[in-house]
Amino acid sequence: MRMSALLLSLALSAPLAAEEIGVSVGGKARDAVESYKVGSTYYLSAQQAAAIYGCQVYWYPVSGRLQMSARGKSLQFLVGSDEVSGLTEPVKLDAAVMLRTSHAFIPMTFFLSEEFSAFAGVESVFNARTKFLSVERRSTVGSVRWFSYNDATRLTVELDKSLSYKSTSRGVGGVEFVFPFGSIASNENAQIEDGILGYYALNQRSNAVALAVKLEDSKVHWRVKEVAEPRRLVIDFYRGELPSLPAVETHPVAAPTVVAPAPKKEEEEAQSAPETAAPTSPSQGPVIVGGKDDKVRRRIVVDAGHGGKDPGASGYHGTAEKDFNLLAAQELAKLLAQEKTFEVMLTRNDDTFVPLADRSRLANEFGADLFISLHCNASRKRQDEGFEVYFQSETSSDPEAQKVADLENSSIELEGKTTQDAQAEMILGELSKTEFINASSEWAALLARDIGKRVDVENHGVKQAGFYVLRGTHAPAVLFEMAYITNKSDEAKLESKKIRRKIVDGVYAGILDYAKREGWMARPD
């Protein structure tokens, strides 16, 4: 008997209990599936894997042989064996295929491997801590990012390094960009209707991806440029003379620069980050990205809510709010740093506990022009879903808004303070001025509108309440609740890289819209 089969036999001599695994495919929640765990290895049944990944399974119980087919290719497994055949080269599993309840179970790690991703055309992430599997279709053409400037509209599409493209005018009213042999996670479209572009539609064809753009004016012209790191196609549409478009960075964003010492170890609580979290270096405190030249830039502070010993709300499947907040904050900072207009600070770039008052203090010391704190909402009602944008007010817009503020403000207790202590400190300090509150209200409206255009998450609009993290900030400041982490559907969307990106795109557009209104974006190409 092979050593792997012997170990498996010994492991199965003890009773095993099935464990539920939460699943989302393309950002949509699916019914939980059963798995088994032997040691640290999770197993997924071949039948359930086939349903998740769109494969066909042929099971031969007498011989213990299993065949899995997808996209005209087949894999062969054998119960008790750790080898997989059918790929270019044989692959070794982390453990042997096992038999339970008359079904073949395959180690979960195989479905997370590059070999299986290439075979099935998918990307999978498994969070062992929360027992959640997120699956996305593998793509070589990214989602479209768009923004309307004063005199132009820009579309940006990320591309795989090996992909080619060609463009074709469709009369005076349209343009089509084709990416031969490209693939996308799903079709998408958006109504822009800004006087320059009517809409765009990104669709998968049998052997290509096509981006169709509808022009709203016969006098609209367009130009294309390719930018590296990451590779992306930037398409500018303009009317009349060449407008003053913001230039695009043609080099990677500089590595984050440490601007404050890391908190002492005793101030943090050791917690294992989920496998879905972005990899980070040891605790490094707040960081600044962008702004590496002498140009005058507007300063944006992106605050990932909670962190360290403060996990925030807990999700339907046990996900931690602090992890989603950090992933979104890092992506937003990366996008903003590509705009030469901005210098960006992250109040935390890892799983660090940062007191609420320190977040606004860091923003003020940085000289922030805008401050946004990213969060996920929670409710005892599992059916509650959607996003909302808050600005500071001593009077809550409704009882539910007050509950949200109370929940977010409860972090003060982890600082060893009471709500009375926090209120006394704010009375002694300089509070947000009326003009900042008014500007925050207007900016919140832009954010809610732009996010609502880009994501399929219910839009609860703009609300107001008293948030400690916003009160001491000397700049327009908002708090954004991305979705309800306690809602099964919303949690699945937060687990999806594609949908998280769309949410971040909406925030990015809302910041640019405010900057455009303030005249910050007016600069030569």
Per residue of the chain (525 residues), give pLDDT as tens.
444 444 444 344 444 668 889 999 999 999 999 899 988 899 999 999 999 999 999 999 889 999 999 999 999 999 999 999 998 888 899 999 999 888 899 999 999 999 999 999 999 999 888 889 999 999 999 989 998 887 889 999 999 998 999 998 877 789 999 999 999 988 999 999 989 999 999 999 999 999 999 999 888 888 999 988 889 999 999 886 655 555 544 333 333 333 333 333 333 333 333 344 443 444 566 888 876 665 668 999 999 999 999 999 999 888 999 999 999 999 999 999 888 889 999 999 999 999 998 999 999 999 999 999 999 999 999 999 999 999 998 778 778 888 888 888 777 777 665 655 555 454 434 445 667 999 999 999 999 999 999 998 999 999 999 898 998 899 999 999 999 999 999 999 999 988 999 999 999 999 999 999 998 875 434
Task: Answer yes or no: are the C-beta atoms of 487 and 383 closer than 8 Å.
Answer: yes
If 0-12 CB within 10 Å is exposed, 13-18 middle and 19+ buried, where does residue 446 land? buried
Residues ≥6 apart with Cβ < 8 Å to 265: none
**Domain 271-398+428-517 in CATH: superfamily?**
Zn-dependent exopeptidases (3.40.630.40)
- How confident is the model at residue 244, as a pLDDT? 52
Where do the DSSP E strands lie in 245-348?
257-258, 287-290, 298-304, 342-346
Centre a 10 Å sphere on the Cβ of residue 158 and count the other Cβ atoms it contains: 17
* Amino acid in the structure at residue 329: A
- Do the bridges between strand 370-377 and strand 477-484 make them parallel or antiparallel, or are there none, so unpaired? parallel
CA nearest neighbour of 461 among 514, 378, 397: 397
- Secondary structure letter of residue 380 according to DSSP: S
Among candidate residues 274, 392, 282, the one with its CA nearest the CA of residue 325: 274
SS3 at position 129: coil
One-letter amino acid of 236: D
Whether the CB-CB separation of 405 and 411 falls below 8 Å is answered with: no
CATH assignment of 3-137, among 3.30.457.10, 3.90.226.10, 3.65.10.10, 3.40.50.300? 3.30.457.10
Q: Which of 117, 230, 227 is nearest to 183 (CA)?
A: 117
Distance CA 384, CA 378 (A): 8
Asked if the bond preceding 107 is cis, omega within 30° of 0, the reply is no
In order, the DSSP letters of 424-470 are HHHHHSPPPPHHHHHHHHHHHHHHHHHHHHH-SS-EEEEEEE--HHH
DSSP 246: P
User: 408: which 2 tokens?
Assistant: 């977010």
Q: Check residue 287 and give its pLDDT.
A: 86
Which two structure tokens, joined as six digits, stand for 250?
């043609």
Q: What is the DSSP letter of 241?
A: S
Distance CA 401, CA 393 (A): 11
Residue ranges matching CATH 2.60.40.3500 in the chain: 141-239
- Given this model, what pLDDT does residue 449 score? 95
pLDDT at site 325: 97
Task: Give the CA-trace dihedral at 273, 275, 277, 278, to 10 degrees.
Answer: 110
Spatial separation of the C-alpha atoms in residues 76 and 45, rounded to whole Å = 15
pLDDT recorded at residue 281 = 42
Report the phi/psi class of residue 101: left, alpha or beta, with left for phi > 0 and alpha for psi in -120 to 50.
Answer: left
The domain defined by 141-239 folds into: Immunoglobulin-like (2.60.40)
Tell me, what's the pLDDT at 134?
Answer: 94
Minimal CA–CA distance to 177: which of 196, 156, 194, 160?
Answer: 156
Q: What is the pTM of this model?
A: 0.83
How high is the pLDDT of residue 280?
41
Output DSSP code: residue 314.
B
How distant is the alpha carbon of residue 64 from its chain centre?
41
Q: Which residue is associated with the tokens 């320059």?
A: 196
112 residue type, one letter: L
* SS3 assignment, position 495: helix
Phi/psi for 209 (5° steps) reads -110, 135
Name the segment(s) of the chain with CATH classification 3.30.457.10: 3-137
Residues 6+ apart with CB under 8 A from 204: 183, 184, 187
d(Cα 314, Cα 484) in Å, to the nearest integer?
10
pLDDT of residue 275: 40
Q: What does the DSSP assignment read for 139-163?
A: -SEEEEEEEE-SSEEEEEEEE-TT-
